[in-house]
Amino acid sequence: MIKIIKSNEMGTGGVVRRSGTPTSIITEVAAIIDNVIKRGDEALREYTREYDECSLDNFELPKSMMDKALNSVEPEFITIMESAAKNIEHFHRNQIQNGFDLPPKNGVLLGERVTPIQRVGLYIPGGSASYPSSVLMNCIPAKLAGVSEIIVATPPLAMGKKHGVDGINMQTLAAAKIAGVDRIFTIGGAQAIAALAYGTETVPRVDKITGPGNAYVTEAKRQVYGVVGIDMIAGPSDILIIADKTANPEHVAADMLSQCEHGIDSPAILITDSATLAKKVGKEIERQLLTLPRKSIARAAVNAKSMIVVAESINEAFDISNEIAPEHLEILLEEPFNHLDKVHNAGAIFLGKYTPEVLGDYYAGPNHTLPTSGTAKFSSPLSVDDFVKKTSYTYYSEEALQAVGKDVIKFAEEEGLAAHALSISKRLK
């Protein structure tokens, strides 16, 4: 049963912090990356046979397969994905920046250019699961940013598994068509990250890699960072709920379990000033757990780091939440907007009793790729900004340089950099 504690009995350290990657995974991933660098497609074929139980001659799917998927997936779900895509586009379109040009002043021109990344690789988990929402959430901001080419890498389905179109999930393919993906490769795991980062005979090298994945994918992204950009080093998903006595315990329990079923390391935390609500939610979690298909996973997550905290006040609840910096924060209070300014650290905020976090996973519009493991203290959700570069430009006329040259020389000399000073003095009259 989930533990119920008082606020003075808890410590925030380790509540949603990501544990270190095991040395065995670090070593194995490094070997995979090195093998792909040296042997390219040949290494990819070997890993595909070993890990995905597939023998593939060609990794790239023809674009016509995306059209085929649109006709294979249930029409109702296609309509739902199209509606979700519109919501995601509507939200992210407001993030587009165009740079700026400052007014000329005394012969000086300054400004900033915003240019899209040329080619982006999106990793979409696959195998027995389907994540069309991740396709939409990663691809649509990239398209809005103006990325020239968007490439998806996703694990192939083992031969003979149902729901697949030529070795890939139909829903993933349909989402790719809706979102505007350019190319799709049936490659999974750390080897897919290596192929995207370094390129092979058939897989083009990208400039940035985004998208979720397991511990091997995450570690591979960490190891290739610097060769390419990445979105973030993601940990297990988590949720924190702040609720008072007016909250419905059935809703609170359901929202907590929606995160726990992600995996055994996904904590769910309720902070409330009502001991009565705490007890009711604890009992409701036990009742709902018995009905879940993934109850063994959810049970492990409930027993591990999940908890219900009884705080002295709602203000204290927000103090604790800001220290934890949750990925998802639900505010189930009578007047949630009155408390919005109290939130300093959270990946995404869900306000009110009829705004469960699951809306954000699929449909509402804001991105569901969020900072985890407490990193919301210093990082942000995936956005259009992740797919552009900002570059400043500077112009000084001869007269402008003459006016400030001696000051710049002095600065360089104070730092002991004579060649810096010489670069200016050679230009002064």
Active site members: 327-328
Distance CA 398, CA 428 (A): 9
Residue 383 lies in a domain: no
Residue 392 lies in a domain: no
Same domain, 311 and 202: no
* Boundary (domain end) residue, out of 230, 245, 271: 230
Same domain, 213 and 277: no
Same domain, 309 and 168: no
Distance CA 31, CA 313 (A): 52
Give me the percent of the chain exceeding a pLDDT of 90.
84
Residue 384 lies in a domain: no
Same domain, 260 and 137: no
- The neighbour count for residue 38, using CB atoms within 10 Å, is 10
- Dump pLDDT digits (tens) for 349-404: 999 999 999 999 999 999 999 999 999 999 999 999 999 999 999 999 999 999 99
Distance CA 126, CA 129 (A): 5
Output the six-digit token pair for 289: 């757990």
| Element of type H or E holding 290 | none
Residue 158 pLDDT: 62
Kindly give the pairing relationship between strand 307-310 and strand 268-272. Answer: parallel
Output the six-digit token pair for 171: 């829903």
Is the whole model's pTM more than 0.85, yes or no? Answer: yes
Same domain, 64 and 162: yes
Number of structural domains the chain divides into: 3
Kindly give the pairing relationship between strand 239-243 and strand 268-272. Answer: parallel
Same domain, 341 and 423: no
Same domain, 192 and 66: yes
Residue 90 lies in a domain: yes
Instruction: Check whether 161 has a pLDDT greater than 50.
Output: no
Instruction: Please answer whether residues 239 and 275 qualify as being in contact, where contact means their C-beta atoms are separated by less than 8 angstroms.
Output: no
Residue 77 lies in a domain: yes
Virtual torsion, Cα 221, 222, 225, 231, nearest 10 deg:
60
Instruction: Check whether 137 has a pLDDT greater than 50.
Output: yes
Average pLDDT over residues 312-318: 97
Q: Which residues contact 288 (CB under 8 A, 6 or more apart)?
A: 250, 253, 254, 257
Same domain, 66 and 178: yes
Instruction: Please answer whether residues 139 and 109 qualify as being in contact, where contact means their C-beta atoms are separated by less than 8 angstroms.
Output: no
Residue 194 lies in a domain: yes
Which residue matches tokens 């519009």? 365
Which residue matches tokens 């003979």? 160
Same domain, 197 and 287: no
Give me the percent of the chain exceeding a pLDDT of 70.
95
Output the six-digit token pair for 158: 């083992």
Edge-to-edge strand list for the sheet holding 388-396: 100-101, 108-116, 388-396
Identify the domain containing residue 68 by its residue range. 23-230
* Boundary (domain end) residue, out of 210, 230, 250: 230
Residue 162 pLDDT: 40
Nearest Cα to Cα of residue 176 among 51, 65, 58:
65
Residue 8 lies in a domain: no
Output the six-digit token pair for 403: 């006016």
Which CATH number characterizes residue 161's domain?
3.40.50.1980
Residue 167 pLDDT: 61
Q: Give me the sign of the Cα torsion angle 342, 346, 351, 352.
A: negative
Which residue matches tokens 């996703």? 154
Instruction: Please answer whether residues 261 and 298 qualify as being in contact, where contact means their C-beta atoms are separated by less than 8 angstroms.
Output: yes
Same domain, 255 and 127: no
Residue 202 pLDDT: 96
Look over the chain and give the mean of its residue pLDDT values, rounded to a whole number. 93
Distance CA 345, CA 324 (A): 8
Same domain, 342 and 292: yes
Pairwise pLDDT comparison (126 vs 38), residue with the higher score: 38
Residue 385 pLDDT: 97
Same domain, 158 and 248: no
* Boundary (domain end) residue, out of 185, 210, 230: 230
Instruction: Check whether 159 has a pLDDT greater than 70.
Output: no
pLDDT confidence tier of residue 160, bands split at 50, 70 and 90: very low
- Dump pLDDT digits (tens) for 303-312: 988 999 999 9
- Dump pLDDT digits (tens) for 180-219: 999 999 999 999 999 999 999 999 999 999 999 999 999 9
Residue 168 lies in a domain: yes
Residue 163 pLDDT: 42
- The neighbour count for residue 117, using CB atoms within 10 Å, is 21
